[in-house]
Structure 1
Amino acid sequence: MKTIFNLFGILFIPFLASAQTEKQSIVLLEEVSNLTYTTFNTEHQITSETFYEVTSAFNTLNGKKAVLMANEKPLEDPVNTTYNSIEQDASGMTLKIRNIIPAFMFDSYSNMQINLASGDFQVPLNFRKDQQLSNLTLKISASITPITHTIEYKLKERRVVKKETVNTPAGTFECLVIESKTHFLPKSDKDGISKQWFAPGIGLIKQVHYDEDGTMTGMTLLTGINTSEVSSGFAQN
Structure 2
Amino acid sequence: MRKLFLIAMCLSLWAPTALAQSNCSKYYPMVEGASMTYTSYDRKGKEDSTVEYKVVDVQNQGGETKATMSMEMKPKKGGALTSSYELICRENVVIIDFKSLMNQQMLGQFGNAEVDITGHDIELPNDLEVGQELADANVTVSGSMGGAFNVNMTVEQINRKVEKKESVNTSAGTFDCYVIYSDTKTKMMVANQTFSSRVWLAEDVGIVQQESYNKNGKLMGSMKLTSFSK
**Is the pair's TM-score, using the shorter chain for normalization, greater than 0.5?**
yes
Distance across 1 between alignment mates of 2:100 and 2:166:
20
Equivalent residue runs for 1:152-163 within 5 Å = 152-163=154-165
User: Are the structure 2 counterparts of residues 158 and 216 from structure 1 closer, same or farther at C-alpha, using a change threshold of 3 Å?
Assistant: same
User: Are the structure 2 counterparts of residues 45 and 198 from structure 1 closer, same or farther at C-alpha, using a change threshold of 3 Å?
Assistant: same
Match of 2:183 in 1: 181
Distance across 2 between alignment mates of 1:97 and 1:171:
31
User: Are the structure 2 counterparts of residues 159 and 80 from structure 1 closer, same or farther at C-alpha, using a change threshold of 3 Å?
Assistant: closer
1:217 is aligned to 2:215: no
Distance across 2 between alignment mates of 1:218 and 1:121:
22
Distance across 2 between alignment mates of 1:199 and 1:180:
17
User: Are the structure 2 counterparts of residues 160 and 98 from structure 1 closer, same or farther at C-alpha, using a change threshold of 3 Å?
Assistant: same
Distance across 2 between alignment mates of 1:63 and 1:161:
29
Match of 2:73 in 1: 72
The SS at the match of 1:113 is helix
Give structure 2 stretches of 5+ with no counterpart. 1-20, 108-116, 142-150
Distance across 1 between alignment mates of 2:94 and 2:101:
13
The SS at the match of 2:62 is coil
1:165 aligned to which of 149, 164, 167: 167
| Per-residue deviation, 1:33 | 2.7
CA contact (8 A) 2:122 2:135 kept: no
CA contact (8 A) 1:125 1:200 kept: no
Give structure 1 stretches of 5+ with no counterpart. 1-22, 102-111, 141-148, 228-237
CA contact (8 A) 1:37 1:99 kept: no
Higher CA-based Rg: 1
Distance across 2 between alignment mates of 1:59 and 1:135:
27
Task: Give TM-score scaled by structure 1 length.
Answer: 0.60
1:175-206 C-alpha deviation (Å, 9 max, x unpaired): 33221223221344x52422122334554332
Match of 1:133 in 2: 134
> Which has more strand, going by share of residues?
2
CA contact (8 A) 2:59 2:67 kept: yes
Q: Which moved more, 1:157-166 or 1:31-40?
A: 31-40
Equivalent residue runs for 1:1-150 within 5 Å = 25-26=23-24, 28-30=29-31, 33-73=34-74, 79=80, 81-96=82-97, 113-114=105-106, 120-138=121-139
Task: Give TM-score scaled by structure 2 length.
Answer: 0.62
| Per-residue deviation, 1:45 | 2.1
CA contact (8 A) 1:99 1:220 kept: no
Distance across 1 between alignment mates of 2:64 and 2:24:
7
Distance across 1 between alignment mates of 2:187 and 2:72:
27
Across the aligned residues of Structure 1 and Structure 2, the Cα RMSD in angstroms comes to 3.7
Distance across 1 between alignment mates of 2:162 and 2:178:
7
| Per-residue deviation, 1:215 | 0.4
CA contact (8 A) 2:86 2:100 kept: no
| Per-residue deviation, 1:85 | 2.6
Distance across 1 between alignment mates of 2:224 and 2:74:
15
Residues paired across the two proteins, number: 183
